[in-house]
Structure 1
Amino acid sequence: MGSFLHVVFVGIICAALGAASWFATPRGKNQVLLRSSVLLSLTCCYLMWAITYLAQLHPLIVPRRSDLRMEY
């Protein structure tokens, strides 16, 4: 359960950064492009981090030690 809370907590931080960047972008003809770029970058970075973090916590293949004798 602890790993889930880490992912949610970082997700809330990324959402807050996205909301802050929404209001902090300067006005102009490229405002929509800047907003989209920042939000897309935050989303992609968060998803990459979350997938990597959760994959390391719960691997699909259990690692095996190769320096043990066969009877162990």
Structure 2
Amino acid sequence: MSGFLVLLVGAVFAGLCAASYFLVPKSWDQTLWRTCLIMTLVCMYLMWAVTYMAQLHPLIQPRRSDLRAEH
């Protein structure tokens, strides 16, 4: 399920990138707007994906502190 969710959210962000590419109004700074919007969406997706994957597979396992120490 986790890999599917990352791909699903990636597809949503790809759709948003495509929409931002085609829906930017024509002006002298159209390329700047396209670049800023697409780079913002890519960075948002990467930050979400890294955070989501880090929570799925943490590097350090959590330990319970309310247990007695074993001998």
So what's the TM-score if we normalise by structure 1?
0.94
**Greater than 4 Å deviation, 4+ residue runs:** none
Quick one: which amino acid aligns to residue 8 of structure 2? Answer: F
Stretch deviating more after TM superposition (33-42 or 59-68): 59-68
Determine what percentage of the aligned residue pairs are the same residue. Answer: 54
User: Deviation string for 1:35-60 (max 9, x for gaps)?
Assistant: 00000000000000000000001101
Which of 1 and 2 has higher RCO (CA within 8 Å, sep 6+)? Answer: 1
**1:67 Cα shift?**
1.3
User: In the aligned structure 1, how far is the partner of 2:68 from the partner of 2:32?
Assistant: 59
Paired residue total? 71
| 1:54 aligned counterpart, secondary structure | helix
Gaps of 5+ in 2: none
Partner of 2:24: 25
User: In the aligned structure 2, how far is the partner of 1:20 from the partner of 1:43?
Assistant: 13
| 2:27 aligned counterpart, secondary structure | coil
Partner of 1:69: 68
User: In the aligned structure 1, how far is the partner of 2:37 from the partner of 2:67?
Assistant: 49
Q: How large is the RMSD of aligned CA atoms in angstroms? A: 1.1
**1:71 Cα shift?**
2.0
Gaps of 5+ in 1: none
So what's the TM-score if we normalise by structure 2?
0.96
